[in-house]
Amino acid sequence: MVVFSEDHNQETRCRGRIEVICGSMFSGKTEELIRRMKRAKFARQRVEIFKPAIDTRYSEEDVVSHDNNIIKSTPIDSSASILLFSSEIDVVGIDEAQFFDEGLVYVCNELANRGVRVIIAGLDMDFKGIPFGPIPALCAIADEVTKVHAICVKCGDLAYISHRTVDNDKRVLLGETTEYEPLCRCCYQKALKEESKNKQ
């Protein structure tokens, strides 16, 4: 009789996978990323978070979520660098992924194929509702996608978009509560009508 050891199955199982956490601003994306990373770290897995060098709202070296939940991270200029810095890492976290180049899709696939668990957090859409950077493609190749929501500041329903409250057309405008507000689809449409009326 041949008895297969369950432990052996466990060891040889491929752990590589891609998880995407996406949503609007103030939806808790970074908090969810950090929660998953901390849990892996607690299990003595080697973890590392990368973020685009463009995101310098807070300190250079740390991923800081809005509730000051700090985990160390490495700012990098291009997605290709993630492969260079990821040897010997079990779980790779990527924050503000929408600001990375499209090469991030290849990088994440490559890491997952090597057995790395990749957890990506990023904005699903820009302030006009257009899918942001490599996020749509990452959602397509992911093993698991979690869409998180903020709360609409006008009516309390689940928010759908980060509405920009200042008149600036630049796609990348980093800021906090003063420049953006989470709105549901209905309140966003009302806000757009209001704005076009004010411009006339």
The catalytic residue positions are 96
- Nearest distance from C-beta of residue 190 to Zn ion, angstroms: 8
- Nearest distance from C-beta of residue 24 to Zn ion, angstroms: 12
For Zn ion, the binding residue among 140, 141, 155, 173 (CB under 5 A) is: 155
| Nearer of residues 65 and 162 to Zn ion, judged by Cβ | 162
| Nearer of residues 155 and 173 to Zn ion, judged by Cβ | 155
Contact call for residue 184 and Zn ion (CB under 5 A): yes
What is the contact mask toward Zn ion in residues 108 to 147, using x (rule: CB under 5 A)? ----------------------------------------
| Nearer of residues 174 and 186 to Zn ion, judged by Cβ | 186
For Zn ion, the binding residue among 35, 147, 149, 154 (CB under 5 A) is: 154
Whole-number Å distance between alpha carbons of 136 and 6: 37
Closest CA to 184 of 160, 162, 155, 149: 160
- Nearest distance from C-beta of residue 19 to Zn ion, angstroms: 29
| Nearer of residues 35 and 154 to Zn ion, judged by Cβ | 154
The secondary structure of the chain as a DSSP string is -----HHHHHHHS---EEEEEEESTTS-HHHHHHHHHHHHHHTT--EEEEEETT--SS-SSEEE-TT--EEEEEEESSTHHHHHH-TT-SEEEE-SGGGS-TTHHHHHHHHHHTT-EEEEEEESB-TTSPBPTTHHHHHHH-SEEEEE--B-TTTSSB--EEEE-S----S-----TTTEEEE-HHHHHHHHHHHHHHH-
| Nearer of residues 49 and 187 to Zn ion, judged by Cβ | 187
Contact call for residue 161 and Zn ion (CB under 5 A): no
Whole-number Å distance between alpha carbons of 53 and 166: 24
Stretch that binds Zn ion, among 36-44, 89-97, 164-172, 187-195 (CB under 5 A): 187-195
- Per CB under 5 A, residues contacting Zn ion are 152, 154-155, 157, 184, 187
